[in-house]
Structure 1
Amino acid sequence: MNIFDAHCDVLMKMYIDPDISFLDSDKLHITKQGLLEEGGKVQCFAIYIPEKVHPDMRFQAALAMVDIFHEKILSEPEMKFIKTKADIDSLKEREIGALLTLEGCDCIGNDLLKLKTLLHLGVSSVGLTWNYANLVADGALESRGGGLTQFGTEVVNLLNEKSIWCDLSHLSEAGFWDTIKRAEFPIASHSNAHHLCSHPRNLKDSQIKALLQKNGVIGVTFVPQFLSNRDSSSIKDILKHIDHICSLGGERQIGLGSDFDGIEHMVENLTSYKDYHNFINELNRLYSSEFVKGLLFGNFTRNFPVKKERF
């Protein structure tokens, strides 16, 4: 089955360690070989700037990750750059779509031109924050819990204008509500249900319902801390979050955002992309083929914005 995975941190790992090979490195959870073996069809690659990078150097780091994306990901013969819905629809057998995303607007400071530059370079989804505050909004772990700033409103307006996904994962609760009112193309690329696991990164039922009402998609993530309140998590815990989101009306608006390569602790029997078959086997045992196809691929694909202009 084809898989659309809405979030990973491969670029961060390859930025930190330039010797890592995307082809088959055992230092990566996601490799080209793993994608080919498991049915990977579209993989989102996040530009995430580690906190240790000095603020004055963060935009340069973002550009370095764009370069890695082009030089070390897209250089692989089967990898194809995804910028439009038509690019996804035209993927051939054994071709894998690579979609560039931004996780947190820290690297743009208060400069909208920097964000425009990243959009010109092919970024198709923009997460407003990571866990803490920046000049756009507060993140989920920022104790202040503030919402969208005036500059943040300008950022969301630009994403609306350019038909770009506005990723609500990592936002503070106030930031979520400010943004969901304005965003025309909202998603939550890698978030789970707060009802089942009370981590501040997870979304409450009212937030999930609001996202669904705006025709957004939520990507269930494999981060153990977001799956259960125990020390370890299993595939059964992922299924519980899927069931809960479906109970809120999300059957056709639920997908996957693994967060592979951005996590240290893993779900049992799902320790890398090469274990996806273990998860899919459980899905096929419990759900209809139509639902499984939508969860794995169809729902995020159908939701991909049709751009008002191409640039």
Structure 2
Amino acid sequence: RGMQVINTVFGGSLYQDINVQYADKKPMCHSQNEERSVTTQTASVVTDSLLYSIVNCNTLPINSIHHQAVKRIADGFRAVAFADDGICEAIESLYYPILGVQWHPEHLSEADAAGEHFDNPHRKIFGWLVDEAKIFSRAKRIHHSSYVIDSHCDTPMFFHYPQVNIVENDKLWVDPADFGEKDEPPLLYEIKVDARKMRQGRVDAVFMVAYIPQSTPADETYGKADRLLNTIITQAKGSGNRISIATSYAELCNNKRNGIPTVFLGIENGCALAGNLDNIDYFYRLGVRYITLCHNGDNLLCDSAMQSLDTHNGLSEFGRQVVLKMNAVGMMVDVSHVGEKSFWDTVALSTKPIIASHSCCKALRNHPRNLTDEQIRAIARSGGVVQICLYKHFLADTDVATVADAVRHIKHVVELVGVDYVGIGSDFDGGGEIAGATSENQLINITKALIKEGFD
């Protein structure tokens, strides 16, 4: 019943009794009297499926011992094998390594008369499962021996819901109007980043940012950032060491040794400085380790990649002072969201490495928020990194972006400048979410996909 359970758990439905509910289709006998090692039916396999790539045949002799069957296929799955009467005999996930078959391959996996089993298609299904387990095991070892950091998440955006915290969350009802989405009904939402999900995904650290919308009144930007950052700090201090704030590499190392997920602090949108350079010192002492110079729309620092009016023709004079001050105190300059002229002004001015905390490659997806190849090379020359964003509109011009799309962008950066200059800035809880990696506990799926591409 494994396939039926998979389909039901993910929201599909079943025929409770084939002979009753499928009677008008004149069903075959799906409860054979023969031994389970005897094949009594044939399944037709869809040729562009994962199952076909495993068994390497489009018709497969099977046994049949069931009176229920999959009816409506769960979202995110597809039917990939059928009996002669149309009953679904196999389903697979579109985005995860999940495969369910209705027959019992464990009884059809014996070696042939010569003692060989390499060409037994049923045995190959178990071989695929073992290979997937080996890849997952390898991914876990990589995460254990490395420092795995997600450089951008927007979880504090949800702090106006009092139950939201950085340790562990239940699903909650949210009003899209709270985030500027009008005429949308409330939705049941699951916070994508917290300590529990970080442990599940074997992620050592995340940069949680205080995001300040460009529409925030100028006299409220500093206070809003301060409140959000202090909420993160207060929650971490009250977590009983279930999560910890860090301000340095040494503190990250110590947290990892002790099995404690780490939060670094950031600010998204330099308007949080409220035009005062001294606020850089304050935020640095508070623990902030990068500021994204702007968001969507020009601010006092620079022109944006989105909704720009070319207010400053790049960095403003105040923006130049900000970059130099950030260099002086040891705070990273983040150029995600900045316009191209602002970008090149920053590159020319900064004496320290610059980062793009959550951006993608314009060569693969022509979006104004994405970076050109020359920009990527410039970041690498500075000693900085390009952190690939898991926002579907930056990754692909399709309705659904997947882990494969994220891997394409990662590989593009690697091919341009090398593996040392690329990472992941998920943008979880700020719009980031792709099929196959929808939250922090699934970030390891990107590692698995990279292993399959030859990274090790």
TM-score range, shorter chain: 0.7 to 0.9
> 1:89 offset after TM fit, Å?
2.6
Other structure's SS at 2:207 match: strand
The amino acid of 1:243's aligned partner reads K
CA distance in 2 between counterparts of 1:52 and 1:157 reads 26
Q: Which has the larger radius of gyration?
A: 2
> 1:68 offset after TM fit, Å?
0.8
Segment drifting more, 59-68 vs 89-98: 89-98
Q: Could you tell me which residue of structure 1 aligns to residue 279 of structure 2?
A: 114
CA distance in 1 between counterparts of 2:320 and 2:278 reads 15
> Given the alignment of the two structures, is residue 32 of structure 1 paired with residue 211 of structure 2, yes or no?
no
Q: Could you tell me which residue of structure 2 aligns to residue 306 of structure 1?
A: none
> 1:97 offset after TM fit, Å?
1.7
The amino acid of 1:43's aligned partner reads V
Q: Could you tell me which residue of structure 2 aligns to residue 285 of structure 1?
A: 452
Q: Could you tell me which residue of structure 2 aligns to residue 137 of structure 1?
A: 302
- Equivalent pairs, count: 287
Divergent runs of 4+, >4 A: none
* Equivalent of residue 9 in structure 1, options 154, 168, 174: 154
The amino acid of 1:208's aligned partner reads I
Q: What is the TM-score with the length of structure 1 in the denominator?
A: 0.88
Give the unaligned 5+ runs of structure 1.
Answer: 290-311
CA distance in 2 between counterparts of 1:149 and 1:50 reads 19
Q: Deviations over 1:250-273 (max 9, x none)?
A: 31111110000000x731121111
> Given the alignment of the two structures, is residue 103 of structure 1 paired with residue 103 of structure 2, yes or no?
no
The amino acid of 1:168's aligned partner reads V
Q: What is the TM-score with the length of structure 2 in the denominator?
A: 0.61
The amino acid of 1:29's aligned partner reads K
Query: Given that residues 214 and 295 in structure 2 are in contact (C-alpha distance below 8 angstroms), is that contact kept between their aligned partners in structure 1?
Result: no
The amino acid of 2:378's aligned partner reads A
Segment drifting more, 80-89 vs 60-69: 80-89
Query: Given that residues 246 and 262 in structure 2 are in contact (C-alpha distance below 8 angstroms), is that contact kept between their aligned partners in structure 1?
Result: yes
Which structure has more relative contact order (CA 8 Å, sep 6+)? It is 1
Segment drifting more, 200-209 vs 62-71: 62-71
Q: Could you tell me which residue of structure 2 aligns to residue 271 of structure 1?
A: 438
Query: Given that residues 219 and 255 in structure 1 are in contact (C-alpha distance below 8 angstroms), is that contact kept between their aligned partners in structure 2?
Result: yes
> 1:75 offset after TM fit, Å?
2.6
Q: Could you tell me which residue of structure 1 aligns to residue 185 of structure 2?
A: none
Query: Given that residues 99 and 123 in structure 1 are in contact (C-alpha distance below 8 angstroms), is that contact kept between their aligned partners in structure 2?
Result: yes
1:57-72 aligned at under 5 Å gives the runs 57-72=220-235
> 1:50 offset after TM fit, Å?
3.0
Query: Given that residues 164 and 185 in structure 1 are in contact (C-alpha distance below 8 angstroms), is that contact kept between their aligned partners in structure 2?
Result: no
Segment drifting more, 107-116 vs 154-163: 107-116
Query: Given that residues 74 and 98 in structure 1 are in contact (C-alpha distance below 8 angstroms), is that contact kept between their aligned partners in structure 2?
Result: no
> 1:222 offset after TM fit, Å?
0.4
Q: Could you tell me which residue of structure 2 aligns to residue 189 of structure 1?
A: 357
Q: Could you tell me which residue of structure 1 aligns to residue 178 of structure 2?
A: none
The amino acid of 2:287's aligned partner reads G
Give the unaligned 5+ runs of structure 2.
Answer: 1-142, 172-189
Q: Could you tell me which residue of structure 2 aligns to residue 218 of structure 1?
A: 386
CA distance in 2 between counterparts of 1:87 and 1:168 reads 25
1:203-242 aligned at under 5 Å gives the runs 203-242=371-410
> 1:74 offset after TM fit, Å?
4.1
CA distance in 1 between counterparts of 2:308 and 2:292 reads 19
Q: Could you tell me which residue of structure 1 aligns to residue 338 of structure 2?
A: 171
Query: Given that residues 347 and 378 in structure 2 are in contact (C-alpha distance below 8 angstroms), is that contact kept between their aligned partners in structure 1?
Result: yes
Q: Deviations over 1:175-221 (max 9, x none)?
A: 00000112213011100000000111100001001111111111011
